[in-house]
């Protein structure tokens, strides 16, 4: 496992994707489930497609906090409840250690390109749909 994490530090990881629905928009989200996948996240990624993102899935709901160390892209982060309801959204600046946290315990976090949620009118209370969510 150390070899995988060490090799990923030289470039971005690529994880299997799952489709999520945000109203009429289909997101192709890479699914980060294992602790090492979640800790690497979107680090070292130089580009990401318009409707691409990363869904972080945790074993249980908790207050989730993220930062952008070694992340080159400006991102928006949505903290998502088990049923797919967006709890809060925050904008994150690249290569910073500023912490961005959920306002209540959540099992999912979705990172997308900066502005993606706002351009589609998605805010707290919006319900995402897809296989990971209990809906």
Q: What is the pLDDT of residue 6?
A: 41
| pTM (two decimals) | 0.91
DSSP letter assigned to residue 129 = B
Residue 62 neighbours by CB distance under 10 Å: 12
Tell me the per-residue pLDDT of 7-30, one tens digit each, with 9 for 90 and over: 445 678 999 999 999 999 999 999
Query: Length of the chain in residues, anyone?
Result: 135
How far is Cα 57 from Cα 133, in angstroms, rounded to an integer?
10
Query: Which of 3.40.50.970, 2.60.120.1140, 3.90.25.10, 2.40.160.10 would CATH assign to domain 2-119?
Result: 2.60.120.1140
Which class for 14: exposed (0-12), middle (13-18), buried (19 or more C-beta within 10 A)?
exposed
Which class for 98: exposed (0-12), middle (13-18), buried (19 or more C-beta within 10 A)?
exposed
Residue 45 neighbours by CB distance under 10 Å: 20
Tell me the per-residue pLDDT of 62-119, one tens digit each, with 9 for 90 and over: 999 999 999 999 999 999 999 999 999 999 999 999 999 999 999 999 999 999 999 9
Please give the torsion angle defined by the CA atoms of residues 12, 16, 21 and 22, in that order, rounded to the nearest 10 degrees: -10
Domain range summary for the chain, segments of one domain joined by +? 2-119
Mean per-residue pLDDT, 50-64: 97
């Amino acid at each position: 496992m150390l070899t995988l994490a060490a090799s990923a530090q030289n470039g971005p990881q690529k994880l299997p994707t799952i489709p999520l629905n945000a109203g009429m928009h289909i997101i192709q989200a890479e699914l980060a489930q294992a602790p090492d996948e979640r800790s690497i996240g979107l680090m070292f990624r130089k580009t990401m497609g318009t409707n691409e993102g990363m869904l972080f899935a945790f074993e249980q709901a908790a207050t989730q906090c993220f930062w952008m160390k070694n992340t080159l892209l400006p991102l928006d982060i949505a903290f998502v409840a088990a049923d797919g309801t967006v709890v809060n959204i925050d904008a994150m600046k690249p290569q910073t250690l500023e912490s961005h946290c959920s306002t209540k315990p959540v099992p999912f976090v979705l990172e997308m390109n900066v502005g993606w949620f706002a351009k589609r009118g998605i805010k707290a209370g919006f319900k995402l749909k897809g296989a990971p969510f209990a809906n």
